[in-house]
Amino acid sequence: MKRDLVVIGGGPAGLAAAIEAKKNGIDDILILERDKRLGGILQQCIHNGFGLHIFKEQLTGPEYAQRFIDEVEKLGIEYKLDTMVLHLSENKHITALNPKDGIIEIDAKAVILAMGCRERTRGALNIPGSRPAGVFTAGAAQRFVNMEGYMVGKKVVILGSGDIGLIMARRMTLEGAEVKMVVELMPYSTGLKRNIVQCLEDFDIPLLFNHTVTRIHGRERLEGVTIAKVDENRRPIEGTEQYIECDTLLLSVGLIPENELSREANINLNSVTSGAYVNELMETSVDGIFACGNVVHVHDLVDYVTEESFLAGYGAAKYIKGEYIKNEKGFFTKTGFGIRYVVPNRINPQNVKDKVNFYMRVNDVYHNVDLVVRDGDKIIYKVRRNHVSPGEMESVKLSKDVLREVKSCELVFALEEVAK
């Protein structure tokens, strides 16, 4: 079949992108979702704290998702559930599979990638020892507890202080488990500060920085883990080992964008974010293929995913309607001191609606710095930050008028020491 726009993924990113494309005049849209319902991972994030930015109120994950699902239904946007995209080609040919239609072949005018991300696993960490039951990624445990209603263990150690791990520490505690500790390799948390307060401190769960799990014990079910302190090179220090009895180890050691389809379509990926390089309208390096949300870079707030996805939907609509200006005008974004990455990567101000939100992460914890954007020698934006951390995404808004005035071919985002 032929479609104007196919959105791969029916989570927060895909839903917002489809809605915005529809509002910008595209009627022939199809969302392909691999799960049995729309909403993505938000459906298992039953805690609150979503939506303050977009809706000015605190919502739980399912409530946030439902607002977009209702909108998709109201606008009459078509979607297929239980549908997995198997292949995507550079010329926007999609092969998908579901139990009802079998194999589906689609030629799309434009595609929006919104597949989200996956969790890093024990394999990525290389913890030695046996492979007993009782080792879960935090997200898999969250699905069991919140969606299926099963407990994954009684005595829990959590490796990694990512947000899902922190949220699961509280969730497991509320459901009667004993969460013994959260162990973090780095000297800082990769999760939000508020989650450390309301998920750990509220329940007196210790958080050990500069520590890691060095061994897994138990043959059938997990019986315990060995933890140890690490040095500045993140290597375990001999003699600091401690045995902790537990039947469950949850891994919350980071998320990686799911870009297998992007690779197949020959989209250029950024090795820092593991997501696609994108431009001012969230278009990837392949003509007519757009991307948004956690498939581009891992966000800590869904509100930012929504903002970014509205832009991708707007961009795809412009592309389909032939209103998208393609020329070599514009500039690249580049990272300077202290900044690990910035998205988007290329800006042609001619296509910018009114502003661009630049999202970035710092590479370490810094205090009292200026976040500065430079066009050559000229500072075009500067903001004082008392505290920045790799766990908390920074954003900078620049208006179309400001972007039009950029003279050099690179806009540099960097941290600078505050001039005394």
Partner 1 sequence: MIKKMTCISCPLGCQLEVEVGENIKVSGNKCKRGEEYAKNEITNPKRIITSTVKVEGGDKPLVSVKTDREIPKDMIFEIMKEINKIKAVAPIQIGDVIIENVLGTGANVVATAKINGA
Partner 2 sequence: MSENEKREVLKINPIYGRIICRCEHITEGDIVSAIRRPLGARSVDGVKRRVRAGMGRCQGGFCMPRVVEILARELNIPPTEVKKSDEGSFILTGKTK
Q: Should residue 202 be labelled a site residue for partner 1 when binding is judged by CB under 8 A? A: yes
The site that binds partner 1 (CB under 8 A) totals a number of residues, namely 30
Whether the CA torsion 63, 100, 16, 258 is positive or negative: it is positive
Q: Considering just the CA atoms, what is the radius of gyration of the chain in Å?
A: 22
User: Residue 62's binding partner, choosing from partner 2, partner 1, none, with beta-carbon cut-off 5 to 8 A by kind?
Assistant: partner 1
Q: Should residue 58 be labelled a site residue for partner 1 when binding is judged by CB under 8 A? A: yes
Whether the CA torsion 309, 312, 317, 320 is positive or negative: it is negative
User: Residue 260's binding partner, choosing from partner 2, partner 1, none, with beta-carbon cut-off 5 to 8 A by kind?
Assistant: partner 2
Q: Report how far residue 397's alpha carbon sits from residue 268's, in angstroms, rounded to the nearest whole number.
A: 25
Point out which span in 43-51, 123-131, 240-248, 339-347 binds partner 1 (CB under 8 A).
43-51
Point out which span in 145-153, 229-237, 283-291, 396-404 binds partner 1 (CB under 8 A).
145-153
Q: Report how far residue 2's alpha carbon sits from residue 107's, in angstroms, rounded to the nearest whole number.
A: 5
The only residue of 52, 379, 383, 418 in contact with partner 1, by rule CB under 8 A: 52
Q: What is the DSSP string of 283-335?
A: B-SSTTEEE-GGGTS--S-HHHHHHHHHHHHHHHHHHHHT----SS-SEEEEE
The only residue of 123, 148, 328, 377 in contact with partner 1, by rule CB under 8 A: 148
Q: Report how far residue 61's alpha carbon sits from residue 306's, in angstroms, rounded to the nearest whole number.
A: 13
* Minimum CB distance to partner 1 smaller for 98 or for 198: 198
What is the side-by-side strand order in the sheet with 331-335? 346-347, 331-335, 410-417, 366-375, 378-388
Residue with tokens 């079949």: 1
Closest distance to partner 1 from the beta carbon of 164 (Å): 15
User: Residue 144's binding partner, choosing from partner 2, partner 1, none, with beta-carbon cut-off 5 to 8 A by kind?
Assistant: partner 2
Q: List binders of partner 1 among 368-397 (CB under 8 A).
A: 386-387, 392
Q: Report how far residue 7's alpha carbon sits from residue 282's, in angstroms, rounded to the nearest whole number.
A: 13
Binding site for partner 2 (CB under 8 A): 34, 82, 84, 86, 97-103, 118-119, 121-123, 132-134, 136-137, 139-140, 143-145, 147-154, 175, 219-221, 247, 260
Three-state DSSP class for residue 357 = strand
The only residue of 76, 99, 102, 149 in contact with partner 1, by rule CB under 8 A: 149
Q: Should residue 147 be labelled a site residue for partner 1 when binding is judged by CB under 8 A? A: yes
Q: Should residue 193 be labelled a site residue for partner 1 when binding is judged by CB under 8 A? A: yes
User: Residue 386's binding partner, choosing from partner 1, partner 2, none, with beta-carbon cut-off 5 to 8 A by kind?
Assistant: partner 1
Q: Should residue 99 be labelled a site residue for partner 1 when binding is judged by CB under 8 A? A: no
